[in-house]
Amino acid sequence: MLFSQDDKMLKPSEHGSRISDLYLEAITLDPTFNFSVDLQQTLQGRRLLIDEIPFPLEVLQEHYEHGYIQYHYGVKRIKGLYECVRCGNQEDALFARFGCARCKKTCTYCRKCIAMGRVSECTPLVSWGGSVETFQYETPLVWDGVVSKGQANASSELVSVITKDSELLIWAVCGAGKTEVLFEGISLALSLGKYVCLATPRTDVVIELAPRIKSVFPDVIVHSLYGGSSDPRCLAPITIATTHQLLRYYKAFDVIIIDEVDAFPYSFDAMLQRAVQQAKKETSSTIYLTATPDSKWKKKVYQNQIESVTIPARFHGHPLPVPEYRWCGNWRKYILKRKIPSVIMVWLQEKLESKRQAFLFVPSIEVLEDLLPLVREISEAIEGVHSKDPLRKEKVASFRAGVIPILLTTTILERGVTIPKTDVGVLGADDGVFTESTLVQIAGRVGRSTADPTGEILYFHFGKTGAMVSAKKQIMSMNKQAVEKGLLK
C-alpha cells in the first residue's frame, strides 16, 4: 500500500504509467541510471504532488518502504473541518469536491492553492527523508564594490544573525543598496554549507535580482522561480523566488531573506507567511527587508521584539528627494470628460522637452486605459503598463532602454525597479490605493543613481490625505536621521 487516508488509496494513473515506461527505457539505454540519486535531487527540500515527480510509483514505494521519502496528507479532516496541508487553508468555502478517478470516490480538494497543482484527500504530498546533498564554497563572493557606512553596519549585523541562526529586520530607505548589504551574509552562509533563499512578493523583482546575484556569485548555482518559469527539479545553493513558489518547499533553507516584507500580497496573506515558515529548516535564520515597515513591524522594533538595523541614507550619500504637493482639480471628472488636467498636461510636456524620462502612476487599470489615449495625443511614444498587460515585461525593458519617454503605470512598478534619470508623478495621490507605504515606495524611484541623485516627485491631488502627509513626513524623518548619523555628503 503506497498511501491511504481512511478508505482511500493512491493508485497509479495513466500519467504515472507513461513515466514508468519512460524510465524503463532510460534504464535499458543506461544500466548505471541511479533512481535514488535523481529522486533525492528532485525531492530534497521540497514537498511535491505525485504528478510533479518524474518517477514511477513503484520507485516511490520502494524508497518509502526504506524510509527515504515521506508522505503527507494533501487535505486532511480534523473534527469535521478540512485543512490543506500545503497552504494551511481552513476556509470551508475554499474547498470543493469532485468525482476522483484515482480513489474512485468523491474527493475534497483545496481551491486556494489550486494554481500550484490540485491537492486532494487521496493525493499525498511527497518529501525527502533520507540523507541530503551538501556543499561548501571557500570564497564564493566575487565583488570589488564599496559599501557606505550605513550598508557596512547592516552587513555586519546580517553576518552576526546568520552565524547564530536568529532573526533580523533591516529597515533601509529606498535606494539604500539593500542587495549589496546581503553579499557578505550570503557568502558566509555558502561557506558554511547553508542553503539560501531570497524571497520576494513580486515576479519583477525576481527577474531583476537574479542576474545581479549570479554576477557576484559566478561559481554558485542560482535558481530563479516565479509563475511561468521552468522547474529546475533540484535544490540550488541560492534560490531566488516569489513567495508563492515557497509552497513547494519543505524544511529546505538554512537562511531565508524576505525582501519587501510589507508588500502585497505577502503582508496580507497568511498562506504566504506560512509558506515561508514551512520552507525553512527548524534551525535557521530569517532576515526581513523593508523600506516601509507597517505598524506591526514598527511595534516589534520599538519594543525590542526583534533585532533590527536602520539605513536612513542612500548608498550615494545624497538625501532622499522630498515629494511636493500639486493640486490638479477634480482629476476624475476631467478624465470622464476625456480631458487631461492642465497641470498634468504641462508636466508631461516639460518632461518630453527636457528629455528626462518619467513615470506617471495612476490609481487603477481603468484610469490608465482611459488616460492613455489622451496623453498619446501629446506624444505617441508614451506608453502604459499594468498587471494584466501581456507586453508588461517588454514595455518595462523598452522604458529601461530609453525608448519610451514616459510610462503610465499602476502600482505594479512601485517597487524593485531602478531606472536612472527618472522623474515621477502620481495622478490622484489622494486615492485610497495610495497608502503611506505605497507613496514612499513610489517616491523611492527617484534619484537612485550616483550619476543622478536628485529628481522630481510630485503628488497630484484633489485634496491632501493623511497618507500623503505621512509619506512626506517619513521621508523627511529619514533624511534627518541620516544627517544626525553623518551619512550624507
- pLDDT tens figures, 177-192: 999 999 999 999 999 9
Q: For the CA atoms of 168, 172, 178, 182, what is the dihedral angle to 10 degrees?
A: -20
Which tens digit of pLDDT belongs to each residue from 342-356? 999 999 999 999 989
User: Residue 134: inside a domain, yes or no?
Assistant: no
Which of 4 and 194 is assigned the larger pLDDT? 194
User: Residue 486: inside a domain, yes or no?
Assistant: no
How many C-beta atoms lie closer than 10 Å to residue 309's C-beta?
Answer: 20
Which tens digit of pLDDT belongs to each residue from 200-252? 988 878 988 999 999 999 999 999 999 888 888 889 999 999 999 999 999 99
User: Residue 475: inside a domain, yes or no?
Assistant: no
Taking residues 400-427, report their average pLDDT.
Answer: 92
Residues 360 and 305 in one domain: no
Taking residues 81-106, report their average pLDDT.
Answer: 93
Which tens digit of pLDDT belongs to each residue from 269-291? 899 999 999 999 999 999 999 99
Sign of the four-CA dihedral 136, 140, 146, 148: negative
Query: In which band, very low, low, confident or very high, does the pLDDT at 4 lie, cut at 50, 70 and 90?
Result: very low
User: Residue 345: inside a domain, yes or no?
Assistant: yes
The predicted pLDDT at position 12 comes to 37
Which of 36 and 320 is assigned the larger pLDDT? 320
Residues 114 and 207 in one domain: no
The predicted pLDDT at position 10 comes to 42
User: Residue 144: inside a domain, yes or no?
Assistant: no
The predicted pLDDT at position 2 comes to 47
User: Residue 81: inside a domain, yes or no?
Assistant: yes
User: Residue 424: inside a domain, yes or no?
Assistant: yes
**β-strand pairing of 167-172 with 280-290:** parallel
Mean pLDDT, rounded, of the chain: 90
User: Domain range spanning residue 328?
Assistant: 324-470
The listed range with the strongest mean pLDDT (28-32, 125-129, 230-234, 330-334) is 330-334
What is the C-alpha separation between 62 and 270, in angstroms, rounded? 36
State the alpha helices, DSSP H only, in 418-465: 436-443
Which of 122 and 469 is assigned the larger pLDDT? 469
pLDDT at 260 over 90: no
Q: Which of 128, 160, 181 is the last residue of a domain?
A: 128
Three-class DSSP category at 286? strand
Residues 246 and 389 in one domain: no
The predicted pLDDT at position 34 comes to 57
Residues 107 and 201 in one domain: no
Numbers of helices and strands, H then E, in the chain: 14, 22
**β-strand pairing of 196-200 with 253-258:** parallel
Residues 292 and 341 in one domain: no
Q: Read off the C-alpha cell for 337.
A: 470628460
